[in-house]
């Protein structure tokens, strides 16, 4: 299991290959990559703030819970902070399991939890000004299914 919090950009393809190369006995790998979107147009940067210390421990706890709840060979979580541009990678998760369903379900669980339980906050800076991205009710209610 690997959890990384970093400002540096990373290559999700290379990360996925490295993850897949070392899993043992897993027949299924699922990965998700999150990319900065320019939703309203005119996005200059997305600033991601986080809570150093708590971020790492929260992600670690979420990944450990996934490892316990599903039959997983391994799990990977990488999340960036700092100033990002539209089109840049923000984060990725990958899960490896003997079975496809465990790999898909645990990847969705990781995404749902790190959306509203990992201490990151996004601010969109555009020519019109700067606004904190508001949490969505549906992100909170997405946790109920787990």
Partner 1 sequence: MDVLYFAWVRERIGIPKETVETSAATVNELVAELRQREERYEVAFSDLSSLRVAVDQTLTDFDASLSGAREVAFFPPMTGG
Q: Is 49 in the site for partner 1 (CB under 8 A)?
A: yes
Query: What is the layout of strands, in order, in the sheet containing 28-35?
Result: 2-6, 74-80, 89-97, 28-35
What is the smallest separation between the CB atom of 146 and partner 1, expressed in angstroms? 15
Q: Is 76 in the site for partner 1 (CB under 8 A)?
A: no
Strand partners, 74: 96
Q: Is 111 in the site for partner 1 (CB under 8 A)?
A: yes
What is the smallest separation between the CB atom of 109 and partner 1, expressed in angstroms? 12
Q: Is 123 in the site for partner 1 (CB under 8 A)?
A: yes
* Residues binding partner 1: number (CB under 8 A): 26
Q: Which of 79, 94, 97, 107 binds partner 1 (CB under 8 A)?
A: 79
Closest residue by Cα to residue 48 from 116, 119, 111: 119
Q: Is 91 in the site for partner 1 (CB under 8 A)?
A: yes
Q: Which of 1, 35, 54, 128 binds partner 1 (CB under 8 A)?
A: 54
Closest residue by Cα to residue 54 from 46, 43, 62: 62
Identify whether the C-beta of residue 5 lies closer than 8 Å to the C-beta of residue 59.
Answer: yes
Q: Is 121 in the site for partner 1 (CB under 8 A)?
A: yes
């Amino acid at each position: 299991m690997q959890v990384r919090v970093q400002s540096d950009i990373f290559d999700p393809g290379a990360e996925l290959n490295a993850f897949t190369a070392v899993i043992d006995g897993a027949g299924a790998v699922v990965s998700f990559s999150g990319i900065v979107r320019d939703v309203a147009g005119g996005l200059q940067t997305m600033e991601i703030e986080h809570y150093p210390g708590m971020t790492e421990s929260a992600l670690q706890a979420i990944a450990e819970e996934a490892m316990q709840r599903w039959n997983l060979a391994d799990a990977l979580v990488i999340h960036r902070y700092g100033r990002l541009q539209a089109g840049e990678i923000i984060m990725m998760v990958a899960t490896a399991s003997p079975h496809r369903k465990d790999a898909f379900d645990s990847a969705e669980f990781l995404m749902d939890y790190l959306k509203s339980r990992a201490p990151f906050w996004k601010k969109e800076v555009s020519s019109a000004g700067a606004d904190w991205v508001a949490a969505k009710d549906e992100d909170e209610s997405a946790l109920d299914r787990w």
